Amino acid sequence: MNEKEKSEWKKKIIQGLHEVYDPEIPIDIVNLGLIYQIDISDDGDVYVRIGATTPACPVTEDLQYTVEQVIKESIPAKSIRVELDLDTEWTPLMMSEEGRKEFIRKFGYDIVKRWAERMGIEEEKVT
């Protein structure tokens, strides 16, 4: 498998994962910044490392399973391994600009600014 094919697979995976929503914040896991890593081997093995908005999330196994199923439906991978990383703490700073705007539309406030204020981080560093 060459780099162009890997890139195409990665695009298809990400496109599919835009349809997977976090159970607590109704925004897709790509725009929430919960896709930490996607690796595709020359042999067609896929490894994806995902996070959760909170380590106490009661449906992390469901999320992990859903990500695996979406990948299966998106590409003909030889094997798929989805690892749940609960050690990397998610923060709103991990959100994409699109995710941030969607959050504002849905909830009426900027979660990034509010989080930064609570954490004592200057606004210039988060915008």
Question: Which two tokens mark 100?
Answer: 């941030």
Q: Provide the 3-class DSSP secondary structure of residue 36.
A: strand
Q: Using CA atoms, how far apart are residues 111 and 91, in angstroms rounded to an integer? A: 10
Rg over alpha carbons for the chain, rounded to the nearest Å, is: 16
**Share above pLDDT 90 across residues of the chain, in percent, rounded to a whole number:** 83
Determine the average pLDDT of the residues in 19-48.
96
Q: What is the pLDDT of residue 123?
A: 61
Determine the average pLDDT of the residues in 51-56.
88
Q: What angle do CA 101, 63, 2 make, to 5 degrees?
A: 85
Mean pLDDT of the chain: 93
CB atoms within 10 A of CB 35: 20
Question: Which two tokens mark 63?
Answer: 């999320």
Q: Provide the 3-class DSSP secondary structure of residue 65.
A: helix
Show the beta-strand stretches assigned E in 5-122.
35-40, 45-50, 79-84
| CB of 58 closer than 8 Å to CB of 84 | no
